[in-house]
Amino acid sequence: MSVIIDESCITCDACLQNCPVNAIVDDSNNPTGEKRYYVQPEKCVECVDLFDNPQCAAICPSIGCITWDMPFTKEFDAHFLNEEMYKLSTKDGVAKSPAFKEKKFRSDISMSKRGVKQEVQVAPSEKEIG
Ligand code: SF4
Ligand code: SF4
């Protein structure tokens, strides 16, 4: 990842429709069994090279629902393999963890903002003017 959808998801479907790489699945297809939409970290590219910001968070009506996670890079392979909040898809029985294939991430988002429930959406007062 990427980004994470938390329990405040109201299953409105907006993010799924807005993701340019089809990285999001709905609550009925959430591989973790949680009743919320789910970002597949092995597919999410943080909208790098496609949009100025993550399009899922840009459209999500539940403010704060989508937060930054660690980059999907080999450095965080164990994180994505072992944390219960993910269930990676597999190929030939091998989990598609970062060691299998890394994904793009926003290098301008510092590590201190990742994995600590930092909102992807920026409140209007925090947005840069102009
Ligand atoms: S950040 Fe972009 S690529 Fe990742 S799930 Fe959201 S819309 Fe999809
Ligand atoms: S847009 Fe937000 S509230 Fe709607 S399904 Fe996606 S994460 Fe859930």
Chain segment 16-34, per-residue pLDDT in tens: 999 999 999 999 999 999 9
The domain over range 1-121 is classified in CATH as 3.30.70.20: yes
Structure tokens at 1: 């990842």
pTM tops 0.75, yes or no: yes
* For ligand 2, atom 2: residue with the closest CA: 60
- pLDDT for the residue numbered 121: 85
Model confidence band, residue 69 (pLDDT cutoffs 50, 70, 90): very high
Q: Report the run of H or E that residue 81 belongs to, with start and end.
A: helix 77-82
Q: What does DSSP assign to residue 12?
A: -
Which atom of ligand 1 lies at the shortest distance from residue 55's CA? 7
Distance 108 CA to ligand 2 centre (A): 24
> 56, 106, 108, 122: which to mutate for ligand 1, most atoms within 8 A of CB?
56
Rounded to an integer, what is the distance from CA 78 to the centroid of its chain? 17
pLDDT in tens, 74-123: 999 999 999 999 999 999 999 999 999 999 999 999 999 999 889 998 65
Task: Note the pLDDT of residue 123.
Answer: 55
Backbone angles phi, psi at 15, to 5 degrees: -65, -40
Question: What is the C-alpha separation between 13 and 25, in angstroms, rounded?
Answer: 9
Rounded Cα gap, residues 19 and 116, in angstroms: 23
Instruction: Report pLDDT for 129.
Output: 44
